[in-house]
Amino acid sequence: MIAALGLLLPPAVRAQSVVWGAVAGTVVSVGGQPVPRALVTLSTGSNGTSQEATTDLSGRFRFALLAPGTYQLRVEALGYRPTVGRGLALAGGESSSVTVRLSVAAPPVVVVDTVELAAGGSARWRPGGAHFSQADLAAIPDRFEDLASALSLESTSDRSQGALGLPGSMTVVVADGIPSYRAPHPLALSELLGDALFPRAVLAAATAYGGAPDVEWASAGGYAALATRTGGEPGGLELDGAWAGGPLWSSGVLDFDAPGLTSFRGGARTAIGIGPGSSLFLGTEAFQEEAPLAARIDSTLASSLSGLDPDLVTSLTSPSIERVARYSALARGDVQTGESTRFFVRGAIAYTRRDFDGPGPVGLARDVALPEESVDFSLAGGLISEYQPGTDVELRAGVSRSSRTFDPAAMGMPPVSLAGSGADLGVVAAGAGSSSRTDFFLMPSVHRVLAVGQLKAGVTLRATMHSLASQVPSQLIFSDGPALVADRGFARSLSTPEVSFKTQEIGAFARYDLEATPGVRISVGGRFDWERIPRSEVDQNQAWFQASGIPNDSFPAALKQAGLVGSLTWDPARDGTTVLTTVMSLQHGDLDPRTLGQLLSQDVGATSTRYAGTGLTWPGGAIPGTATTQPTLTLLGTDTRAPRSVHTSVGASQRVAPGWSVRVEGMFRRTDFLTRRRNLNIAPTAQALDPDGRDVFGTLQQDGSLVTATGTDARRFSAFQEVWALDPDGWSEYRGVTVGLDHAGATWTLFASYTLSETTDNWIGASRASPEAQLPPLLPSSAGEWSEGTSDFDVRHRAAAATSLTYGPATFSASYRFRSGLPFTPGYRMGVDANGDGAFGNDVAFVDAAVVDPLLAAWPCLSDQGGGFAARNSCRGPSEHAVDVRVAVSLGRLGGRNASLVLDGLNLVEGKDGVVDHALLLVDPTGTLATSPGSVTIPLIVNPDFGRVLYPSTRGRQLRIGFRIG
């Protein structure tokens, strides 16, 4: 009688880490006696590699340092019939327990017992995120968002890898157990090109974790755990390529056809066997995509610019072409040197470039799309060895380098905007700059199997070198076209030197996992981190200290934080049919290097210029030499801290029928110590009030649709311009519920997910790359605690669905993504400083019910705000839909390998998102600024185009044809 192969596989976040998994077990005879010296082979169906182990005298074996994937287990012993178990699905962080029973068989053995292993509940869902296998990744059409695009198919994720209501920059990418940090934009928090080093073609799995459920990887936001491919069929070769061009491009939203645009992608991957259980994987990929972008202005506005260079005006009225190119390569070797020792070495490099033909994009608040060039590389390795029975020693190490350059000046379009129409004619001022970082990692740890449960403990060591430069060119603001032609308007500029500095971090952690009772698994852990920041490299600003008595170099030289994590998983039937999970954690992050970069570059030597009047030239961008230039300063306080998050999630999954499962999960996250910016150099008392009770700090001056303040009367210390204090008093809270449905069948798969969430914070302007997105000072008490409310990153509704159907030689795949509109605050146009504090991005509009009455039918968000200042982020832009489809048709065999033709339709339902006109009120250019002692009145009119998309951000539709071999 053939014995059964038993498997315990509850999908819990538990043993080991969320990056690596493990398979352990015992080989026994039908009578239950241990079988020593049995040969156990574990091979990966998805990656093609294998490794071997021999059972000890108790019949036990163990495989560790396993990437997520689908495995096959084969057990052989002299005198027994071999047994093969297939379909062993392992996610990151899982430690599977296997019991193999061998039937006695007299030689010669001619029959092999084969058992299909049930995967339990949905293999796609894991607590804290979604797990995507290699096949899933290949089935989803990609654009230049790449990995983030794939992860956003789980509705708890977004396309910038945001961590549940936090910016994408707070998501750490952990590849093969080693973190990979990308050099940040000097100011912007959300970026689309954040994962160029690891294109999907070289990935075996990717999992997005929003709540940092593992104590080994402390993160105040979240992280994406990646496993790079470890092979394929030994000696096999995979080739794929795709091309789009000619009349295949179109954009209904832009009313634009571009027959000249071309795009391509191609890749090659191969695996080479280098011995038993060892292999070498090589992969390379090239990618280029061209896409249309909306024209900066229409013909009506162009007529007001007569007098400028005609070629320049023509360029502004024509769509731009965005070009993104990426070239990358990866090599990975996996070697088994003995029965209990295995190591890997992985190297990756990527070059990415984004440029534009034409004036380029508007500075989008959440999607930084600037001319960019970057080079990234990573060299990493890991070793795990059995020191003694039940004790494994693991060592991971790596070095990575990321270098990025943002150069809007390369397009010859310095920043300029028109206050009257809201048009942006140049690129965003805060976009210029460069950054780089080099990281060295060393992470030793010990795994110990105890009498009850298992223990993992270790340390993490990191040394980082940073370099940041934020060269902000002169930004010009004009009332309208004629004022621009007449060189009359407002200008500002900031000059800061490039800075280089170092940070170090040492962390220690321990985690204990056990199965308290059958089907109940518990995990608890803690960690402590010490982070050194470069206080000694800050020069004291003597002029500021003498004027204010506040030192600019008084802040901690090191940050110390503790973290905790715990999880409980209950699998009542112990077969994965029903699984209940809860995870709780207290995690922290690092101090943002952008904060340190601003601190070091603006201690001494940084200057700020503000000017209003005539003599401003564009596109030359010159400011008259008579403009006043004064020092600007940034400082930290003695309470400086790194962000810290408390995260809780409760989830349940249920297999409702063969191949079908559902799940529901509720999440809560609270993050504290987020950095907020405030200007210490604002005058302590206001000079006047406007009719709505708003404090006005400086003398206002009007020029058409412009209202600015350039005098010294708004400053506390007239010898300085802005003095920024970066305070860790920001907080953010996320609450969300996600429901999902998953079906996996032989010919049809389906995945759907919906998330309802709410994110609130007091993190003013967090989504905008602008130093002036700060808390408005001294709003009337009737406005309440205005800073607290809907977050810039709040997206109430998110949905994602993907399906794949195979019929004969053809496979049809489709994906759909939806999110509700992004929030914005009714305010004023760039160029209107309603309170005279010197900042344009922080003035909120007063909602006069009589004035805004024509807008109420179209904008219900205004209906309950009459008679007060608009609530923060109380209105929303248009919702976003995305549909991608793929048809793959098998063409038979070519050169001994499968060949297929692939047709992709990308962005078939174009979104209508873009830069929204958030100005509720406009300055009446025909009116006159009225001033009297203690009061000031700005002539205002309602904006009939309030909420209109000024600049669509769609990249157009694309039809792509591809060919694949292997």
Instruction: Calculate mean pLDDT across residues 888-897.
Output: 85
pLDDT of the residue at 779: 72
SS3 state of residue 480: coil
DSSP H stretches of helix in 549-646: 593-601
pLDDT of the residue at 430: 61
pLDDT in tens, 15-31: 345 566 778 888 998 88
Stretch (H or E) spanning 166 = none
Whole-angstrom distance, CA of residue 923 vs CA of residue 40: 77
pLDDT in tens, 767-816: 876 767 776 776 766 666 788 899 999 999 999 998 989 999 999 999 89
Q: Write down how long the chain is.
A: 966
DSSP H stretches of helix in 408-511: 481-485
Tokens of 963: 């060919």
pLDDT of the residue at 596: 93
Stretch (H or E) spanning 845 = none
Instruction: Tell which wins on pLDDT, 290 or 621.
Output: 290
pLDDT in tens, 489-502: 999 888 888 899 99
Cβ-contact 877, 913 below 8 angstroms: yes
Residue 242 pLDDT exceeds 90? no
pLDDT in tens, 411-453: 566 788 899 998 888 766 566 788 999 999 999 999 888 888 8
Tokens of 362: 């508007």
pLDDT of the residue at 1: 26
Q: What's the half-sphere exposure (Cβ side, CA atoms, 13 Å) at 867? A: 2
pLDDT of the residue at 348: 95
pLDDT of the residue at 13: 33
Instruction: Tell which wins on pLDDT, 550 or 52.
Output: 550
Whole-angstrom distance, CA of residue 207 vs CA of residue 89: 14
Exposure b/e, 776-809, CB count within 10 A at least 16 = b: bbbbeeebeebbebbbbbbbbebbbbbbbebeee
Stretch (H or E) spanning 139 = helix 134-139
Whole-angstrom distance, CA of residue 353 vs CA of residue 193: 10
Report the share of the chain in percent with pLDDT over 70: 87
Lowest mean pLDDT segment, chosen from 180-194, 660-674, 715-729, 876-890: 180-194
Instruction: Tell which wins on pLDDT, 631 or 96.
Output: 631
pLDDT band, residue 136 (cuts 50/70/90): low
CB-count burial class (<10 Å; 0-12, 13-18, 19+) for 403: middle
pLDDT of the residue at 235: 67
Report the share of the chain in percent with pLDDT over 90: 38
Whole-angstrom distance, CA of residue 291 vs CA of residue 324: 9
Beta carbons within 8 Å of 435's beta carbon, 6+ residues apart: 183, 184, 185, 186, 403, 404, 466, 467, 468, 469, 597
Beta carbons within 8 Å of 563's beta carbon, 6+ residues apart: 215, 218, 526, 527, 528, 529, 585, 586, 587, 588
Whole-angstrom distance, CA of residue 753 vs CA of residue 800: 5
CA distances (Å), 696 to each of 198, 303, 893, 934, 941, in order? 51, 36, 76, 9, 19
Q: Hunting for tokens 């163990």 — which residue is that?
A: 62
Q: Hunting for tokens 């993992």 — which residue is that?
A: 456
DSSP letter, residue 622: -
pLDDT in tens, 515-542: 888 889 898 999 999 999 999 999 999 9
SS3 state of residue 821: coil
Q: Smallest Cα–Cα separation from 328: which of 352, 350, 346, 353?
A: 350
pLDDT in tens, 566-612: 999 898 987 778 889 899 999 999 999 999 999 999 999 899 999 99
Whole-angstrom distance, CA of residue 132 vs CA of residue 210: 15
Q: In degrees, to the nearest 5, what angle opens at C-alpha 456 toward C-alphas 586 and 38?
A: 145
Q: Smallest Cα–Cα separation from 320: which of 438, 241, 231, 425?
A: 425
Tokens of 166: 């936090």
Q: How far is CA 428 from the centre of its chain?
A: 21
Q: How far is CA 214 from the centre of its chain?
A: 19
Residue 4 pLDDT exceeds 60? no
Partners of 241 in beta bridges? 266, 963
Instruction: Tell which wins on pLDDT, 148 or 565.
Output: 565
Tokens of 446: 């010990």
pLDDT band, residue 759 (cuts 50/70/90): very high
Q: How far apart are the first and last CA of the chain?
A: 40
Residue 6 pLDDT exceeds 60? no
CA distances (Å), 60 to each of 23, 75, 613, 802, in order? 11, 12, 82, 41
Whole-angstrom distance, CA of residue 395 vs CA of residue 414: 50
Q: Order of strands across the sheet with 171-175?
A: 125-126, 129-132, 203-209, 222-228, 171-175, 178-180
Stretch (H or E) spanning 793 = none
Exposure b/e, 179-207, CB count within 10 A at least 16 = b: bbbbbbbbbbbbbbbbbbbbbbbbbbbbb
Strands 113-116 and 83-90: parallel
Q: Smallest Cα–Cα separation from 891: which of 962, 814, 815?
A: 962
Q: Smallest Cα–Cα separation from 282: which of 206, 334, 337?
A: 334
pLDDT band, residue 121 (cuts 50/70/90): very low
pTM: 0.90
Beta carbons within 8 Å of 41's beta carbon, 6+ residues apart: 50, 51, 52, 73, 74, 75, 76
Q: Smallest Cα–Cα separation from 43: which of 84, 2, 78?
A: 84
Whole-angstrom distance, CA of residue 965 vs CA of residue 45: 19
Instruction: Calculate mean pLDDT across residues 476-501.
Output: 92
Phi (first) and psi of residue 651, to 5 degrees: -140, 160
Partners of 291 in beta bridges? 322
- Share the mean pLDDT of the chain: 84
Q: Hunting for tokens 């082979």 — which residue is that?
A: 41
Residue 320 pLDDT exceeds 90? no
pLDDT band, residue 933 (cuts 50/70/90): confident
Instruction: Tell which wins on pLDDT, 311 or 260.
Output: 311
